[in-house]
Structure 1
């Protein structure tokens, strides 16, 4: 697994802490020295207390904790991460009256709420669209919302997508992109279909009907899954990529949680959900054979998929293109990047300062550890460095 720059910073900080501890412990018998030391300590404590009311340190990164409140929303794929991160940031900065709130609503809705000025930023599982859809060009709408300044796509969270299932007696299952496409096209309807049997030699599959579920709302997760199927199984998946999943069979559910709940409550259920939701619902998680052998979904295998991602945005707009087909052995291919979509400039001054400070916190070692413990994969160091540079360029 790639060691991110932030992990390196954490290691250096830890070494520094140990070094400082090792240097302590000198004693003195002089009363005057003791008095002087006590006076100095009191002065230092007072200074520290005053400084803490204005700022906080997170893993060596100084946060300014500006007073105010900002609201973000959108992607449910990053909701678990954002609830943890906003809670931690708000706790660090509560003395200053800093408050950051994130509400999941789906990527499409989040972008709309952002450019309609109901939010200060949007979370989305796909970058802003530069071409019109239903008469709307997202980049243009966001630019208008930002007072004529560009909107930037900042990739902050990497989330694996699981093809989850509920099938008694089947602990391990492998699917291919062609199988997934054919399930949603209504061409594979039972679990013992010959295509599934061929992908799972030695596994006894029941003659039970498959109950497919998908996102009913506009979703960046759906868009990423359609991109994957379009790239990896073009003969089987002939629809266009879209935030609205083009299933010919099955049942749509609202949000990731809705899909996970439906699979859990339905014998024979199948669907795509973010990995953490599948884990929390105790669903079966399929391995994926992208042509180089079955690959189990793990943080390490998913992280490898980011190594071939390319930046297709310009300047500090860091939109990425993932490689979904022809992945090497050992790479779990169905991952997506969640972007924080922000105004490069143009927010209210206080809101802009708080937005920048919170995003800075998201790059600290503490935040990176939180993300990884919640089932998210790390950004490659090269991308993480560009994200930090972009955050510091926000105005």
Structure 2
């Protein structure tokens, strides 16, 4: 039976959102510890490969490092981007994929076919914000409303001293510097969430639709989060979008968003309000959230994303299933969530976390 429920997700216990992010190695060396001697109840032996979301790369590095140390098993995660990860999973090349958005209907059908004897499931991992990052000489703080953001990324606002930007930045001396847009050139869950936010907030202004692939023609493309960071850091006047931990680690400035009730900056509380407003779309152990990107609640930061680990409930090889079950059970355990929080992400709300733990335990 499919469950739909709108409203607050109880038990929000969000840890520090603005902390470090990673641009390090995608792979983790196998630890020498013996899983039989570990106190981790989710230990399994072996080695599997996974790929996908670069927005959760820092969290994944923390998880794989800890799991290797505790259990002696190796999880090789390549931060290829959400779109590539889903494609590689569907093609049977990886045991699970990381994605910043749940499988769409056509992707779900293809993923189910890959699993053969079972269904593909979406297991939430962590939450974070999509930061609108900027590099403008002399500007430390910036507030943008959604309509202005839409026009900037469509090339309709071309300089930083445009009246639309000045309107939400009273008292700030804005330069006439040209705006340089940077976007994700490869399929990206971050792009999917960002464009959904723009369409929901400003349907009369945003004309480029939604999805993992960027449909605009203005600006310069970068393949992944690291590329976005490099491009924005290297050019005065640039603006882009990236997960908040990457922005924080690389000292990128993030704009506050004003949806009509005042400027809202990224924080545990503001992101928590947005996640609490999500609609649950659950089908057994397939756990999808429908985020309210059009949220205008005071104190809520609506440009958010939840990462998912996509795998087969049944249909992996016996060895893959054992290790995927063990590792993903660790990801959604209290210890795994704490490790992600230490890496700069937000823990899942308590009620959702319990369901994610049940879903991971069902992998066979």
The equivalences for 1:1-395 within 5 A come to 53-54=35-36, 56-58=38-40, 62-63=41-42, 65-94=43-72, 98-130=73-105, 137-395=106-364
CA contact (8 A) 2:337 2:348 kept: no
CA distance in 1, matches of 2:55, 2:35: 34
Conserved 8 A contact 1:306-1:379: no
| Structure-2 residue corresponding to 1:36 | none
1:365 positional shift = 2.6
Contact 1:153 1:340 in 2 (8 A): yes
- In the TM superposition, structure 1's runs of 4+ consecutive aligned residues that sit over 6 Å from their partners are none
Could you report, residue by residue, the CA deviation over 1:140-163 in whole angstroms, capped at 9, with x for unpaired residues?
A: 221121124110011111121100
3-state DSSP of counterpart to 1:54: helix
2:120·2:312 contact (CA, 8 Å) conserved in 1? yes
Deviations 1:246-303 (A, max 9, x none): 2231111110110111000000110001111111221111011122211011233212
In the alignment, the residues of structure 1 paired with residue 260 and residue 93 of structure 2 have an alpha-carbon distance, to the nearest angstrom, of: 44
Give the structure with the higher percent helix.
1
Paired residue secondary structure (2:311): strand
1:12 alignment partner in structure 2: none
**Structure 1 unmatched runs, 5+:** 8-51, 131-136
Pairs aligned (count): 338
**Larger of the two Rg values belongs to structure:** 1
Q: 1:309 to 1:87 in 2, by over 3 A?
A: same
Shift of 1:239: 2.3
Aligned partner of 1:39 in structure 2 is none
Give the SS at the match of 2:64. helix
Deviation at 1:100, TM superposition (A): 1.2
Cα distance between partner residues in 2 of 1:166 and 1:343: 42
TM-score, length of structure 2 as denominator length: 0.89
Q: Tell me if the contact between 2:47 and 2:75 (Cα under 8 Å) persists in the aligned partners.
A: yes
Higher relative contact order (CA 8 A, sep 6+): 2
- Contact 1:261/1:281 (<8 A) preserved: no
Call closer, same or farther: CA 1:121–1:286 in 2, change over 3 Å. Answer: same
Runs of at least 5 residues in structure 2 that lack an aligned partner in the other structure: 1-8, 16-33
